[in-house]
Amino acid sequence: MVDPSGNESSATYFILIGLPGLEEAQFWLAFPLCSLYIIAVLGNLTIIYIVWTEHSLHEPMYIFLCMLSGLDVLISTSSMPKMMAIFWFNSTTIQFDACLLQMFAIHSLSGMESTVLLAMAFDRYVAICHPLRHATVLTLPRVTKIGMAAVVRGIALMAPLPFFIKHLPFCRSNILSHSYCLHQDVMKLACADIRVNIIYGLIVIISAIGLDSLLISLSYLLILKTVLGLTHEAQAKAFGTCVSHVCAVFIFYVPFIGLSMVHRFDKRHDSLLPVIMANTYLLAPPVLNPIVYGVKTKEIRQRILRLFHVTTHTSNP
């Protein structure tokens, strides 16, 4: 931004315009978005509650699922309330520090989720390729340490982010093209050389998302090699335990990679595509993961049906 004397100044706030070109429809679009957010929160909290209360589910696969559900709740909550305020109350202003906090939360939580997905792939690899060693390799203390490592890794990767943004001068428009604060969106408003930010973003993507997706792919190649040598019945059982996780991987990585590609190659500032993909990236995993695991995982499905059966039974005299 520019002060009255014409000098460069630091940004004190940004404007979130929501959905470019659809400002008049935002009020009504907020209702389905809010419904999806409620479904995401309730679905993931239900998964956490079921795993927490059922001691038979205190196994690495379900504990990792709990971690994934918790991260999904946090990621959606970091953006959706402000988005609803924009759509319903036209509360488009966000303070600079609040924008930094939201940006840090979204990116660091995404890094943690990628790490948890990698841990879940490792769990499936050990369970299928080395079943006799599964109980000794993935003990509960070790699973806890993996969860802590995911948190530390996500925070450490994103720790430099606020400092890189904080020291950028902003002399252009303070209007952001998304419904929430993203690094790619904010740094484009700077009137200084942002090559450091671009390089930092690439390093984070390659060392986190790129490395994790590569290792997940390697895990499933090894799983596929092992499964092909089993009987048809054993193959069906092995594939059945992996379907939910494979779906979760695609639900997370496809929107993320798509959003990164659009930001790099779509140069139109008023384009709606990056905004839609950014909202999809934050809403798709939290909404779809509980549905996928609830439908595809027998143990989770049975507990959900039992939970609703008990609720219905107790509510009728």
Rounded Cα distance, 297 and 107, in Å: 29
Per mean pLDDT, which of 12-16, 72-76, 127-131, 305-309 is the most reliable?
72-76
- The DSSP string of 8-61 is BB--SEEEE--STT-GGGHHHHHHHHHHHHHHHHHHHHHHHHHHHH-GGG-SHH
Do 40 and 287 touch, CB atoms closer than 8 A? yes
Between residues 141 and 258, the one the model is more confident about: 141
For the chain, which domains are there?
Answer: 13-302 (1.20.1070.10)
182 by DSSP, 3-state: which? coil
CA distances from 309 to 17, 112, 315 (A): 44, 34, 10
Rounded Cα distance, 236 and 308, in Å: 29
* 213-250 residue pLDDT tens: 999 999 999 999 988 887 788 888 888 888 889 999 99
Rounded Cα distance, 285 and 283, in Å: 6
Do 94 and 16 touch, CB atoms closer than 8 A? yes
Do 292 and 248 touch, CB atoms closer than 8 A? yes
Residue 95 host element (H or E): strand 93-95
pLDDT for residue 43: 93
Band the pLDDT of 5: cuts 50, 70, 90: very low
Please state, rounded to an integer, the average pLDDT across all residues of the chain.
86
* 42-100 residue pLDDT tens: 999 999 999 999 888 889 999 999 999 999 999 999 989 999 998 898 888 999 999 99
Do 69 and 35 touch, CB atoms closer than 8 A? no
A 10 A CB-CB count for 112 gives 27
Residue 93 host element (H or E): strand 93-95
Strand pairing report for 175-176 and 13-16:
parallel
11 pLDDT above the threshold of 80: no
Flag whether the pTM goes above 0.85.
yes
Token pair of 100 as six digits: 């930094």
* 94-143 residue pLDDT tens: 999 999 999 999 999 999 999 999 999 999 999 999 988 999 999 999 99
Handedness of CA 144, 303, 127, 112 (dihedral sign): negative
